[in-house]
A and B are shown apart, each in its own frame.
Chain A
Amino acid sequence: KNQVEQSPQSLIILEGKNCTLQCNYTVSPFSNLRWYKQDTGRGPVSLTIMTFSENTKSNGRYTATLDADTKQSSLHITASQLSDSASYICVVSQLYSSASKIIFGSGTRLSIRP
């Protein structure tokens, strides 16, 4: 069964600290993995996208890693800011899927405290 699981479900950290969010998937055949940031009541915004051959991709203070062998990904946030408070969703696509379904994780709700 194609699934995407994220952990932790929620996380609270102090402003300025780093954190790492995890994503495990069983989607096959794998095409790509994306991390989205979703503010409450808004649409998701893409942070990174990685294909099978990519191990690391950065977008400012966000760094995503991918281990296609173990089917794991992580999103590392450096020097967190209050504006980082949001849900972070891991999304995996199957190979050769153009206009077809993608599989969403349940998300990690991150809260940054001052």
Chain B
Amino acid sequence: DTEVTQTPKHLVMGMTNKKSLKCEQHMGHRAMYWYKQKAKKPPELMFVYSYEKLSINESVPSRFSPECPNSSLLNLHLHALQPEDSALYLCASSQGSGQGPDTQYFGPGTRLTVL
């Protein structure tokens, strides 16, 4: 199984709503990532979890709150977002063992629209 799944596929929310994005992988990967991608731009890294601990936070606003409940799951909690936060949110995972090339496998993404 080389699949990373993300739910929901699409999400529309108001600026006062609280919602969560979910990501799951069953490849035994120990590193998981959240990216934000605007149209016609490459993905921008937001957070990295390594062995269920937050290892990188790319100065992301606190209205985005990541959570890694276990090694297979990664959540992104959203609160008080702005319209400019509308984007494709991608989750990825990799072996993260530090041994050899570390290919990241991406999920299909969640298309988020903030009204």
Residues of A at under 8 Å CB distance from B? 31-32, 34, 36, 41-46, 49, 51, 89, 91, 93, 96-102, 104-107, 109
Are B94 and A99 touching (Cβ within 8 A)?
yes
Q: Does B97 belong to the interface (CB within 8 Å)?
A: yes
The closest CB in chain A to the CB of B53 belongs to: A99
Q: Does B79 belong to the interface (CB within 8 Å)?
A: no
How distant is B12 from chain A, measured CB to nearest CB, in Å? 15
How distant is B59 from chain A, measured CB to nearest CB, in Å? 13
How distant is B34 from chain A, measured CB to nearest CB, in Å? 12
Give 1 or 0 for each of B20-60: 1 = CB within 8 Å of chain A CB. Answer: 00000000001100000000111101001110000110000
- Complex Cα distance, B62 from A113, in Å, reads 44
Are A99 and B101 touching (Cβ within 8 A)?
no
How distant is A28 from chain B, measured CB to nearest CB, in Å? 17
- Complex Cα distance, B99 from A30, in Å, reads 14
